[in-house]
Amino acid sequence: MAPAPACSRSKTCGRTSRCAPHRQAVDDVSLSILARTDPGLVGESGCGKSVTAHSIMRLIPTPPGRSQGARFLFEGQDLVKLSEARMRRIRATASP
Ligand SMILES: Nc1ncnc2c1ncn2[C@@H]1O[C@H](COP(=O)(O)OP(=O)(O)O)[C@@H](O)[C@H]1O
Ligand SMILES: [Mg+2]
């Protein structure tokens, strides 16, 4: 039997034609990024790098996507709780 798709087990979900309703794309990710560094996220294709990064920056459209129980701490603030206006400012200033 073919292995289950990676998107069947995650807590971050974007419901698109690529993934059936309520599929989970990434599950239980935890990472820390040092200030003033340029980190890379490495992994095999489809392991969830893009979904993870987009979720942190709140670039997965909600609905249909959502992050369950997520906390993204940046300079002492939880990005999950910020207004969209504040997120836009953070995205603009965090860009290289
Ligand atoms: N918008 C989305 N909605 C639902 N599932 C998605 C979406 N984007 C990617 N996926 C699924 O999430 C998993 C991780 O994809 P992705 O983060 O793009 O991998 P990577 O960037 O590591 O190659 C894959 O199974 C992919 O099909
Ligand atoms: Mg990718």
pLDDT, one tens digit per residue, over 15-63 is 444 555 678 899 999 999 998 899 999 999 999 999 999 999 999 998 8
| pTM of model > 0.85 | no
Does some domain include residue 38? no
Is the beta carbon of 96 within 6 A of some atom in ligand 1?
A: no
Residue 54 CA: nearest ligand 1 atom is: 17
Task: Tell me which residue has its CA closest to atom 12 in ligand 1.
Answer: 25
Domain count, the chain: 1
In a domain, 81, yes or no: yes
Q: Ligand 1 pocket check: which of 18, 42, 54 to mutate, most ligand atoms within 8 Å of Cβ?
A: 18
Q: Is 22 contained in some domain? A: yes
Round to whole Å and give the CA distance between 44 and 36: 26
C-alpha span between 70 and 32 (Å, rounded): 14
The reply to whether 80 falls in a domain is yes
57 occurs within a structural domain: yes
Does residue 49 form part of some domain? Answer: yes
Q: Is residue 74, in this structure, part of any structural domain at all?
A: yes
What atom in ligand 1 is closest to the CA of residue 48? 17
